[in-house]
Structure 1
Amino acid sequence: MNLRKLHWDFHSRPILLQVVFPKLETLELSSLDSEEILLQNQHRASSSFKLTNIQTDSRFQNLCKLKLKGSGNLKYLLSSSTARFMVQLKYLDIEECKVMEEILLTEDLGEEEIISKVLFPRLEGLILKDLPVLKRFCVGSNIRFPSLKDMWLERCPKLKSFIFKPVSSGFTLSKELKEMNSGVISHTAMQPLFNEEVAFPSLETLTIFHMEKLKIIWHDQLAEYSFLKLQSLLVQYCENLVNIFQSNMLTKFQSLKRLYVYDCGSLQEVFELQRHNVRESHVVIAIPLKRLILQRLPKMKHVWNKDPQGIFSFQNLQKISVWECESLKSLFPASVARCLMQLEDLLIVNCGVEEIVSREDVAEPAARFVFPKVTVLVLSQLPKLKWFCRGVHTSKWPLLKELIVWM
């Protein structure tokens, strides 16, 4: 059968398929309430969805797009053995699956069956949305998604670690996973979303929405080459996040140009620099960030929790917009303000700032701040604002065209 696109809307009808579509490129499944679909070993896969049979090696080798939307009974999407043969898959979209716990299921929980190395070598887009009990993508170690460019994670409240690597091996692995899933052990409670077991060398955009229980995004030791091409990061409605970046991992994000953080009720700072150890090389690392937008962060006290002078430079910033951050006391450390040669727009609205630029030593000689490209400056609804910068200082705005000050 030379079928290239297939869409099934099951509408609660139980289904068991044993068909082969060797030319199939697009598969879309919706309203799926069957417990077993396309199964090879039905007695082993209760409440799971496995695209697998004796012809696995040729069955889905041309599949480019797989979309599943709406399922009340499926706990797993694919078997790990089937996933190995999906070498053409470019887009994977999974939404509204009420009981899905894991995307890839390892058939046998022996040490040799843990997924490893390259996974979906051509996958470019991944969407995981409205999966209320999803715990992880899979169990594995040293996994690479070499071509993934865009990732969207939304409303996956129990997704704590994208890839879970158990500490056990052999027959004890099954027991450890069962205990973790049932909550008997909690050693994964503080695990970062992305750890050293997964690498995204080509990822360009990352969106994280409504992950209310997420506490840590990145591990302090990421996989080599992971996130080096990340250009845009959007984080919204992550109520337990305390910060976005720790300084010991900032060097990884050498392509980051756009950062948007909205509606994170516990966030205290964007860049946490306290744990950074200054090396003897004294090389200042330039962060490529151009656009920084922060909105509705009620507990954020600092964007940078200390002055990154001599460590990091944010000299590429072009647009900064901070809205409704009532706990924010100041916006820039002095060294950041001195380097904003590319800044064009600066907007601060409805915040608790007392000063725009903070200086650790106000007794030092007069400070000088120049903003040669700023054309728009908005200072609105800042009832606590006392000064631009404490102490003696000068500031120059040679191209300023629009100034809005509304207290």
Structure 2
Amino acid sequence: MVKGLSHLSKIEVCECNSMKEIVFRDNDSSANNDITDEKIEFLQLRSLTLEHLKTLDNFASDYLTHHRSKEKYHDVEPYASTTPFFNAQVSFPNLDTLKLSSLLNLNKVWDENHQSMCNLTSLIVDNCVGLKYLFSSTLVESFMNLKHLEISNCPIMEDIITKEDRNNAVKEVHFLKLEKMILKDMDSLKTIWHRQFETSKMLEVNNCKKIVVVFPSSMQNTYNELEKLEVRNCALVEEIFELNLNENNSEEVMTQLKEVTLDELMKLKNNGVEILKEFLVFKI
């Protein structure tokens, strides 16, 4: 059965309220065929959509993983909460589009060495209430073809990219092809822009309740490729571009911006708009 899945080009699973896994290998088949460590490859899969799956723990698991996910210990969360949703058991080498929506048990999407979605171009994550972050900084290099990133309604997510321990410093890697980012209805997100996003041409931010500065001064000169910027309904936003401007450094900041929309930003400082006019050079 599992081998036959390699020919699928599209998978869409929605509103299955008791489903725990998409693919499950039982104990007998694993033992008899000695395939416990064999990777399941979806070689032809181009599109994967998983929506409104309240009890889904993993994309794929075997007998042991399935039963460990049910165990609870004193003062310890369930096994599923510390296990990546996509683990080393599955591979999607040609996946182009991934949508994860209303997966209430989703706490971690990938493991730290995940490299099976290298051709992914579009990623949409919506209403995943257990996610605190989407990528680790070491994981970015596994998504070199990502062009479209959309995140919404993830109430406890504080960062899109989480930083590694400084004692474990690694070379910073960027998304090479990222073009469009949409972030909306995020209650806890504290940081919008990361250096890894510097190729992005379009950024839409809507109803991100804890954002104070969209582009902090530490990110100066990392948004030079941005052409369209839209910031709406962000109650705490005081500045769009925080620039390091002083007597010794008053150079204009070059951008490709052609369209800027600012709406319902009640705390936006006047100098935030003035900076847009005076110090940012728009190429039209």
Q: TM-score range by the shorter chain?
A: 0.7 to 0.9
The two structures have a TM-score, normalised by structure 1, of 0.59
- Is it true that 1:350 corresponds to 2:256 in the alignment? no
Q: Could you say which structure has the higher strand fraction?
A: 1
User: What aligned pairs does 1:65-84 form with structure 2 within 5 A after superposition?
Assistant: 82-84=1-3
How big is each residue's C-alpha offset from its partner over 1:243-286, in whole Å with a ceiling of 9 and x where there is no partner? 1111110111100000011111111121223546544xx67645
- Is it true that 1:220 corresponds to 2:117 in the alignment? no
Q: SS state of the match for residue 28, structure 2?
A: coil
Counterpart contact for 2:182–2:204, Cα < 8 Å: yes
Superposed structure 1 runs of 4+ greater than 6 Å apart: 361-364
Alpha carbons of structure 1 residues 363 and 262: separation in structure 2 relative to 1, 3 Å? same
Alpha carbons of structure 1 residues 206 and 378: separation in structure 2 relative to 1, 3 Å? same
Counterpart contact for 2:13–2:49, Cα < 8 Å: no
Counterpart contact for 1:152–1:206, Cα < 8 Å: yes
- Is it true that 1:192 corresponds to 2:84 in the alignment? yes
- Is it true that 1:329 corresponds to 2:212 in the alignment? yes
Identity %: 25
Counterpart contact for 2:147–2:180, Cα < 8 Å: yes
Counterpart contact for 1:362–1:390, Cα < 8 Å: no
Give the superposition deviation at 1:88: 4.7
Give the superposition deviation at 1:202: 0.8
Give the superposition deviation at 1:156: 1.6
Q: SS state of the match for residue 31, structure 2?
A: helix
Give the superposition deviation at 1:317: 1.2
The two structures have a TM-score, normalised by structure 2, of 0.81
Structure 2's unaligned 5+ residue stretches are none
Alpha carbons of structure 1 residues 152 and 315: separation in structure 2 relative to 1, 3 Å? same
How big is each residue's C-alpha offset from its partner over 1:82-117, in whole Å with a ceiling of 9 and x where there is no partner? 34356655455555555444455545537534784x
Q: Which amino acid aligns with 1:112?
A: A
Q: 1:293 aligns with which of 168, 182, 186?
A: 182
Give the superposition deviation at 1:154: 0.8
Q: Which amino acid aligns with 1:144?
A: E
1:255 matched to which residue of 2?
A: 145
1:79 matched to which residue of 2?
A: none
2:222 matched to which residue of 1?
A: 339
- Is it true that 1:202 corresponds to 2:94 in the alignment? yes
Structure 1's unaligned 5+ residue stretches are 1-81, 117-138, 167-172, 400-407
Aligned mates of 1:247, 1:267 — CA distance in 2 = 15
Bigger Rg, structure 1 or 2: 1
Give the superposition deviation at 1:340: 2.8
Give the superposition deviation at 1:288: 1.8
Aligned mates of 1:199, 1:287 — CA distance in 2 = 22
User: What aligned pairs does 1:18-57 form with structure 2 within 5 A after superposition?
Assistant: none
Aligned mates of 1:108, 1:284 — CA distance in 2 = 40
Alpha carbons of structure 1 residues 87 and 350: separation in structure 2 relative to 1, 3 Å? closer
Give the superposition deviation at 1:201: 1.1
1:162 matched to which residue of 2?
A: 59
Q: 1:388 aligns with which of 254, 265, 272?
A: 272
How big is each residue's C-alpha offset from its partner over 1:212-264, in whole Å with a ceiling of 9 and x where there is no partner? 22111111121x4x111110000111112111111110111100000011111
Counterpart contact for 1:267–1:300, Cα < 8 Å: yes
Give the superposition deviation at 1:371: 4.7
Give the superposition deviation at 1:205: 0.5
How big is each residue's C-alpha offset from its partner over 1:315-351, in whole Å with a ceiling of 9 and x where there is no partner? 3211111001121111124464413333221010111
1:317 matched to which residue of 2?
A: 200
Counterpart contact for 1:268–1:300, Cα < 8 Å: yes
1:11 matched to which residue of 2?
A: none
Alpha carbons of structure 1 residues 384 and 201: separation in structure 2 relative to 1, 3 Å? same
Aligned mates of 1:90, 1:286 — CA distance in 2 = 25
Q: Which amino acid aligns with 1:303?
A: I
Q: SS state of the match for residue 141, structure 2?
A: helix
Q: Which amino acid aligns with 2:224?
A: M
How big is each residue's C-alpha offset from its partner over 1:361-402, in whole Å with a ceiling of 9 and x where there is no partner? 7779426454543221111111222243999x9321242xxx
Counterpart contact for 2:141–2:173, Cα < 8 Å: no
Q: Which amino acid aligns with 1:397?
A: F
Aligned mates of 1:200, 1:152 — CA distance in 2 = 13
Q: Which amino acid aligns with 1:374?
A: L
Counterpart contact for 1:153–1:207, Cα < 8 Å: yes
Aligned mates of 1:191, 1:397 — CA distance in 2 = 46
Q: SS state of the match for residue 189, structure 1?
A: helix
Q: 1:303 aligns with which of 192, 202, 206?
A: 192
Aligned mates of 1:284, 1:94 — CA distance in 2 = 33
Aligned mates of 1:240, 1:165 — CA distance in 2 = 23
Report 1 or 2 for greater relative contact order, CA contacts < 8 Å, sequence distance ≥ 6.
2
